[in-house]
Amino acid sequence: MKIIALGSGHGGIIEGQYVTPGKRYYGLHGGKQIQLAEGAFNRYVLYGVIAQLHLRGVKVANITPEDEDISLRARVMRVNALCRKYGKNNVYYMSIHHNSFTSDSVFGTEIFTSLGETGSDPIAEFIGERFVKRFGKTNFRMNNVNSKEYSKDANYQVLRNTYCRASLMEWGFMSNTYDRTRIIDKTQDEVIFLTDVLEEIYQME
């Protein structure tokens, strides 16, 4: 690749207000009432990874440099502008998210690619393999426990309409007690893992 394009899902915090409706966890964590804003944590990870990649000499572009919740269409346009500039085979795009569900029981990291088999699939498989090697299979949410496929297909606009190879990562469920600890108290694990895999992806043809 010639450049890594990174985006964080949703908006951030502007003057104390989380600008995106929903996409948060309200509740107890470590005995305290908290509000976990997904878009703010997406940005926390995004900026950490950008700083670390830059330190390692990896060329990286921030697709969502603002805290406003910009449209999916605008995100796609920004990625595709990089595809035109660098060539679509030379850009890798990742969108960073943290998940949520109505029940506490669902947990685990997930990686999504666009529908069907594309060049994005082998890279997502690579990320999944690296993840399981570092954090173990129980922290990864597979389609089927016996499946070798780490990546899941989803018809997300930012994956469907971007020209380059791409993935969307959901690091864990804010609604699950164990994953919430991974998100809030072990954010650096996520930053370093993503830095390591994205550095390797940057070296790929």
Q: Which residues bind Zn ion (CB under 5 A)?
A: 9, 97
**Of 14 and 204, which CB lies nearer to Zn ion in the complex structure?**
14
Q: Nearest Cα to 108, choosing from 174, 29, 156?
A: 174
**Of 25 and 131, which CB lies nearer to Zn ion in the complex structure?**
25
**Of 74 and 204, which CB lies nearer to Zn ion in the complex structure?**
74
* Shortest distance, position 175 Cβ to Zn ion, whole Å: 12
* Shortest distance, position 196 Cβ to Zn ion, whole Å: 22
**Of 123 and 158, which CB lies nearer to Zn ion in the complex structure?**
158
Question: What is the C-alpha end-to-end distance of the chain, expressed in Å?
Answer: 6
**Of 7 and 9, which CB lies nearer to Zn ion in the complex structure?**
9
Q: With contact defined as beta carbons under 8 Å apart, do 6 and 94 qualify? A: yes
* Shortest distance, position 113 Cβ to Zn ion, whole Å: 16
* Shortest distance, position 132 Cβ to Zn ion, whole Å: 22
Strands, E assignment, the chain = 3-8, 13-14, 17-18, 24-29, 32-37, 60-62, 91-99, 110-113, 151-153, 165-173
Q: With contact defined as beta carbons under 8 Å apart, do 107 and 181 qualify? A: no
C-alpha neighbours within 13 Å on the C-beta side of residue 147: 12
* Shortest distance, position 97 Cβ to Zn ion, whole Å: 4
Burial of 98 (0-12, 13-18, 19+ CB in 10 A): buried
